[in-house]
């Protein structure tokens, strides 16, 4: 019974850890699924301590994939949680960073130059029908001048647009913030006004 209680404690700590990070705005959809899968692995083997051997074995236990990048990302999930758990459970082993290190590096974002943005807008203007051209020109312009993410811009509704003060209300951002303001130049405000935004009605 003591062993079962210990495994249950690890599960509770994993769930509390996920809840804490989600409260900070992280969605952790895939991360959470993988972490709880690892907890299932420990539970099924009556393991009461998170060990490096168990973490590596679980990370590589993918019968349908022998992709080292996939293994590395699975192990990374356990490593991140292990760093947190080690504070609560000193017996916890944190997998070294040089184990299964074959994960992709984040691609450096491309920063569009003013000339490239102008070229994109000219291409957008040539789209048919006219509404499609206006939609793409407006979207590209908003992304360029406000710094919003694509999903944030696509979720904008008319009630989120304040043409008088040149402000946008950005909802449901990447980190869960609500009511994040974005400032629009007057040119963007004028274009949105011509396209029927900012009237206060729902799109």
> pLDDT tens digits for 59-102?
999 988 888 888 999 999 999 999 999 999 999 999 999 998 87
Question: DSSP alpha helices (H): ranges in 28-178?
Answer: 29-44, 52-59, 68-88, 114-125, 130-146, 150-154
Q: Give the Cα separation of 42 and 142 in Å (integer).
A: 48
Q: Report whether CATH 3.40.640.10 matches the domain 114-194.
A: no
Rounded Cα distance between 58 and 41, Å, is 7
Domain ranges of the chain: 2-88, 114-194
Alpha carbon distance 50, 75 (integer Å): 12
Alpha-carbon distance values, 37 to 6, 46, 47, 80, 169 (Å): 17, 14, 14, 15, 38
Give the N- to C-terminal CA distance of the chain in Å, as an integer.
Answer: 58
Model confidence at 123: pLDDT above 70: yes
Q: What would the pLDDT profile of 21-37 be if each residue is shown by its tens digit?
A: 999 888 899 999 999 99
What pLDDT score does 167 carry? 79
CA distance 143 to 161: 15
Question: What's the whole-model pTM score?
Answer: 0.55
Higher-scoring residue by pLDDT: 163, 187: 163
């Amino acid at each position: 019974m003591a062993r079962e209680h210990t495994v249950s404690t690890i599960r509770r700590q994993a769930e509390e850890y996920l809840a804490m990070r989600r409260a900070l705005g992280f969605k952790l959809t895939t991360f959470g699924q993988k972490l709880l899968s690892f907890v299932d692995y420990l539970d099924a083997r009556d393991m009461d301590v998170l060990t490096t051997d168990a973490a590596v074995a679980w990370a590589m236990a993918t019968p349908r994939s022998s992709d080292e990048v996939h293994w590395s990302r699975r192990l990374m999930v356990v490593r991140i949680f292990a760093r947190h758990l080690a504070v609560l459970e000193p017996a916890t082993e944190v997998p070294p960073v040089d184990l299964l290190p074959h994960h992709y590096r984040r691609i450096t974002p491309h920063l569009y130059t003013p000339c490239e943005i102008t070229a994109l807008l000219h291409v957008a203007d040539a789209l048919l029908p006219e509404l499609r051209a206006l939609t793409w020109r407006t979207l590209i312009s908003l992304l360029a001048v406000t710094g919003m993410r694509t999903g944030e811009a696509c979720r904008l509704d008319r009630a989120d647009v304040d043409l008088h003060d040149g402000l946008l209300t950005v909802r449901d951002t990447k980190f869960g913030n609500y009511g994040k303001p974005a400032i629009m130049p007057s040119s963007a405000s004028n274009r949105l006004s011509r396209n029927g935004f900012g009237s206060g009605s729902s799109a």
